[in-house]
Amino acid sequence: MNRRGFIQQAAIAGSWAAVGSTVASCATAAKGYADKHFQINMGYYRIPKLRLSMDRIVRETVGLRPFRAIGPRLESERLGNKTLVHNYGHGGSGWSLSWGSGMLARDEVMKTGVKQVAVLGAGTIGLTTARLLQDKGVEVTIYAKDVAPNITSSLATGTWSPSSRVCDPQKATPEFKAWWEKATALSFRAFQFQLGLNDIISWVDEYNVFNEAPSERPNSEIFADLPGMVPERIMLSKKEHPFKADYVSRRSNVMINIPTYLHKHMTDFLLFGGKVKIHEIKKLEDIDALPEKCVVNCMGLGAKAIFNDDHLTPVSGQLSCLIPQPEVTYKLNTKGASIISRKDGIYLGGNGIVGNWDTTPSREQTEKVVGILQKLMEDMRS
């Protein structure tokens, strides 16, 4: 079939984002909790200092978040004699939404009754969707141009952030909001069942350290934290923290240890009989040529060229990785920089450039972030 015929036969079968249901929260939001790091004698939370210098930076990367202002593409389409289920464009929230988005995509696949399914892409979205399909007895082959660590998912920080650059709240529809709430709740629950599995998921302390009062982003309340998930952020008094800053808050948050996490789920996928084929899709006809009658498109930013998706744009983010420091287990956000402590390293980040396709790391950006955080550490009470 040629490209024109293929496109002509395409008919949107229905947006699976239009789930229209509200989320039942798992529990009521915690109002406060005991904390083993609160040192009664010292009078403030014990926060180990980061050893920061340019020679401790072992890796710099730039990843491209697959952003769509209207939200991810979540719809089914007929392409020739195939059903194509789209599941891409999750912006800065792909890790967080992966399980919920995968479950809702799986519902679409199950409606077709097809038992051999192709998943395009081996990032967090593709791998999760593939595993979820296997759990329902579906035989899955993943077709991907690249696998970890040469994928965007390997270049992320991996924190629970389901509303981070997931859409422009002013452009999101009520249907998308309903989908987002459902996907967020499903994902959060799925992550909690992965605690204790060789630390692929952990809970960490997260600090916001600012000199100015935090300003609300426009429409941020539309995609605010849902109740019953991460505990509320608590403002700390000067006595309760060691930072030289006027506005310091703290909460617990979920961290995904990306390398071990991807390894575990890929291993599980293979153990369940899944196949992975390194295969680049260059045009729509390449999808038509696949033997499977149902295809789930989890190609992230790679979907842009194949589907002429004008909505999809990169938002680049640079991370600079420090040598791991086992006592440093927290996450911290301050003006212009952030610290994300994982098992495989301590990641320094903090930027997002809309429309930037350049994945060359900038030494200046690393120096800037290191400088901001060095000052913050120097000013800290020890």
Ligand X SMILES: Cc1cc2nc3c(=O)[nH]c(=O)nc-3n(C[C@H](O)[C@H](O)[C@H](O)COP(=O)(O)OP(=O)(O)OC[C@H]3O[C@@H](n4cnc5c(N)ncnc54)[C@H](O)[C@@H]3O)c2cc1C
> What does the binding site for ligand X look like in residue numbers (CB under 6 A)?
63, 65-66, 88, 90-96, 120-126, 143-146, 151-153, 155-159, 161, 280-281, 298-302, 306, 317, 319, 349
The single-letter DSSP state of residue 46 is -
CA atoms of 276 and 279, how far apart (whole Å): 9
* Minimum distance from residue 92 beta carbon to ligand X (Å): 5
Q: Which two tokens stand for residue 319?
A: 């991370």
Sign of torsion, CA 165 169 170 173? positive
Residues forming a β-bridge with 66? 314
* Minimum distance from residue 224 beta carbon to ligand X (Å): 16
Nearer to ligand X, 274 or 302 (CB): 302
Distance of CA 148 to the CA centre of its chain: 15
- Rg of the chain (C-alpha set): 21
Which secondary-structure segment (H or E) carries 201?
strand 201-210
Nearer to ligand X, 65 or 241 (CB): 65
Q: Provide the residue type at 301 as one letter.
A: L
Residue 251 phi, psi (nearest 5): -155, 170
Nearer to ligand X, 23 or 241 (CB): 23
Nearer to ligand X, 138 or 301 (CB): 301
CA atoms of 293 and 274, how far apart (whole Å): 17
Nearer to ligand X, 83 or 187 (CB): 187
Nearer to ligand X, 113 or 355 (CB): 355
* Minimum distance from residue 301 beta carbon to ligand X (Å): 6
Give the chain's end-to-end CA distance (angstroms, integer).
Answer: 68
* Minimum distance from residue 280 beta carbon to ligand X (Å): 4
CA atoms of 321 and 324, how far apart (whole Å): 9
The single-letter DSSP state of residue 261 is H
Nearer to ligand X, 172 or 242 (CB): 172
Residue 267, Ramachandran bin (φ over 0: left; ψ between -120 and 50: alpha; else beta) = alpha
* Minimum distance from residue 63 beta carbon to ligand X (Å): 3
Nearer to ligand X, 84 or 299 (CB): 299
* Minimum distance from residue 5 beta carbon to ligand X (Å): 21
* Minimum distance from residue 354 beta carbon to ligand X (Å): 12
Residues forming a β-bridge with 277? 143
* Minimum distance from residue 33 beta carbon to ligand X (Å): 23
Q: Is 160 helix (H, G, I), strand (E, B) or coil?
A: coil
CA atoms of 115 and 137, how far apart (whole Å): 8
CA atoms of 148 and 264, how far apart (whole Å): 12
